Chain A
């Protein structure tokens, strides 16, 4: 098998806030790489700066020192190869499902017919057929997040970044969406090539990722980088699965 094509390089990223002349370190020397075919989860307790890390990785915030390279170039927030899914969904309440999904395409000046076809394809892919003209407030939480995912996939990104995408959903809906994300990721016909996800649920990370990055809290430091080599589909009841969960749990506590 050929060496997978590297996508993201995180080089010694440190982030501090300054208040009253005092320095508060949030992230300390985060360093890892992400290649095509990777599914990486970042786990850590609250206060470990996971969300800040993700915002830096997609270019929404600047690191205090260090840098983030995407395909060799410094990352920019409006990079069309990177898409983002938010914990709070961040749907535009005044746009319909279709218009929300078309958002990134509209910004890229994709002509209307092509935009509509592509939006339709991804609305179908996340199972929202029939809700094209609904407004976000008419949808349940799980459906809203499907729109968020379809909106991210519609720009056909190489890298999909997700910030606790399932933590404001009920457990059953969350599990369904997890399986769907795995399916989309493993389908070579569909984007994305790689997924980077931030979560506080260790079980979720072990279930989804083939690599888990563990952060400590205040400041967030990399405690470990583990390769989860369990075969897929994974079963939460197997002792190997629990072995991994326990190991990560002991690293955090």
Chain B
């Protein structure tokens, strides 16, 4: 804990220094930067709004899918598809919908931005809730039933607490995704009309478009500070707190001491602040408790209410689903009834190029993250010094790094075409590598101590040690990391293959640039839809044919039974 705080102070120092240097170097940028706290507040509010909607959605969706087997039959595959397709590709359509609905007013654009962030946050949380509820130990369920827990009481005492560890874990993931999407969505251009809402993402994007290096640096600094502060003051304490809700499957076995729980213990340790917050929160928690008791009573006296609510819920879901599916089918039918546009012939080639770039980025990411993860996982000391630095880099969403990466590529490669290629690959790398690294580190850390000791006592070292212990133990986390990384990579395609920097566009051939061309230049919805369709087919095929089978085999073969 103390090490972390020192690290944070260190980081803050560097950021302040960097800010001062940047401010002296370009006073104009510093003047603009005065608006940044306000921008940071706007951006964070959008994230919070999207997160809260996502949370409610995730609980409702996951709960319904977990409690009704018939509903799960359609709800799970839909969730699976939503989770794996690159949602960013749909943003122009969603934006147009909201802008048209609200007649071009700012509120419409805000709704569109929040909606886009929501789509990047909700699915994995819903899966988390579903998984938690379906893996509640049978005896615990039986105890709940035999002691008469039903309705709201069951949710409050059994189901919601059981879902907390996975919800918190997935919330952290969702916020990472959310920042990536926020930066991409605050400025958007459809045809000749440009939509922008004030925020950190818009600030950085604008600076990049004008080639204003000072503003780019300051904007990135503030973004990193906001992300790290939220991580330090909200997510870390919350994940410590959520440990309390983990099931200990091995009964009777002595577990590591868990500190006694006291309310708001997870708040940062400023006693005065904590006391004030507890005092302030007390009426609210009391009110919540009273409301809960009333709800318990209401449900207990009208047991049918729960069923009716669920029926209405499911009915609405089916209606929306039918509407979406029929409009989608009609659209598809119209698309394929007409002769295909000439650009369609280039789609396989574009898909191949995009895929190769991602594959290259994935290879580079694997090349450095596997050894790095082993070093970080095995050595407490290296990890203590290196992890904070890595976390700072990881806190910057790849979308925010666009101008920096392109600037770097232009400086390194002489030809503009080559620079655009390099930039596209690097952005892919930056969106993929962190998911791999942090998953792999967790994998190395999860190797039980007695296995390590056994390896040591049999004299395993060097190659045999890697082949017999490290690599097999890392396989499951490598696969989960890879799936998330590729998901992020496909999303990154949309922004990485068409970058506007210092008043001119840099493009490479690929699916992402086809989408951008269609939206920004030609306005050809037919090509747009066909490109998105191609992308979805490639992504789903890869999930079904590569990742799922691998994951299934790894789950059987390489699971570490403790």
Contact = CB atoms under 8 A, between A and B. Distances in A.
Interface of A: 55, 58-60, 77-78, 80, 82-84, 86-95, 103-104, 106-109, 135, 137-138, 140-141, 144, 151, 155, 168-169
Contact of B146 (A84, A94, A108, A135): A84
A93 B146 contact: no
Contact of B148 (A86, A93, A95, A108): A108
B359 interface: no
Given A104-B147, A141-B252, A144-B251, A60 B157 contact: no
B297 A83 contact: no
Given A86-B139, A90-B142, A92-B140, A151 B252 contact: no
A106 B157 contact: yes
B142 A55 contact: yes
Interface string B116-157: 000000000000000000000101101101111110010001
Nearest to A78: B148
A119 to B, nearest CB: 13
Nearest to A58: B146
B158 A92 contact: yes
Interface residues of B, number: 31
Contacts of A138: 257-258, 260
Interface in B458-472: none
B157 A93 contact: no
A215 to B, nearest CB: 21
Given A88-B137, A90-B140, A135-B244, A155 B258 contact: no
Interface string B531-555: 0000000000000000000000000
Contacts of A87: 139
16 contacts: A59-B146, A60-B145, A78-B145, A86-B139, A88-B137, A89-B251, A90-B137, A93-B248, A103-B143, A104-B147, A106-B296, A109-B297, A137-B258, A138-B260, A140-B252, A155-B147
Contacts of A86: 139, 142-143
A84 B143 contact: yes
Contacts of B252: 140-141, 144, 168-169
B384 interface: no
A168 B251 contact: yes
Nearest to B257: A138
Contacts of A58: 146
A106 B139 contact: no
B48 interface: no
B306 to A, nearest CB: 14
A91 B261 CA distance: 17
Interface of B: 137, 139-140, 142-143, 145-150, 153, 157-158, 161, 164, 244-248, 251-252, 255, 257-258, 260-261, 296-297, 300
**Main SS of chain A's interface residues?**
loop
Given A104-B147, A106-B153, A168-B251, 9 more contacts: A78-B146, A88-B139, A89-B251, A91-B143, A103-B157, A106-B296, A140-B252, A168-B252, A169-B252
Contacts of A80: 148
Given A92-B158, A92-B161, A138-B258, A60 B146 contact: yes
A135 B251 CA distance: 14
Contact of B255 (A88, A106, A137): A137
Contact of B245 (A55, A93, A108): A93
B147 A107 contact: yes
A59 B143 CA distance: 12
B161 A104 contact: no
A134 to B, nearest CB: 8
A138 B261 CA distance: 11
Nearest to A86: B139
B148 A90 contact: no
Given A88-B251, A138-B258, A109 B245 contact: no
A34 B246 CA distance: 39
Contacts of B143: 84, 86, 90-92, 103
The residue in A89, A95, A106 that gathers the most chain B C-beta atoms within 10 A of its C-beta is A106
A168 B247 CA distance: 17
B152 to A, nearest CB: 11
A41 B158 CA distance: 31
The residue in B147, B158, B161, B261 that gathers the most chain A C-beta atoms within 10 A of its C-beta is B147
Nearest 3 CB-CB pairs, A to B?
A: A107-B148, A141-B252, A90-B139
Contacts of B247: 93
Contacts of A77: 145-146
A94 B244 contact: yes
Nearest to A80: B148
Contact of A83 (B146, B153, B157, B164): B146
The residue in A82, A88, A91, A169 that gathers the most chain B C-beta atoms within 10 A of its C-beta is A88
Contacts of B140: 90, 92
B419 to A, nearest CB: 54
B248 A104 contact: no
B164 to A, nearest CB: 8
A137 B139 contact: no
Nearest to B289: A112
Contact of B142 (A60, A141, A168): A60
Given A60-B142, A84-B143, A109-B297, A95 B248 contact: no
A78 B154 CA distance: 12
A107 B248 contact: no
Nearest to B153: A107
Contacts of A91: 143
Contacts of B258: 135, 137-138
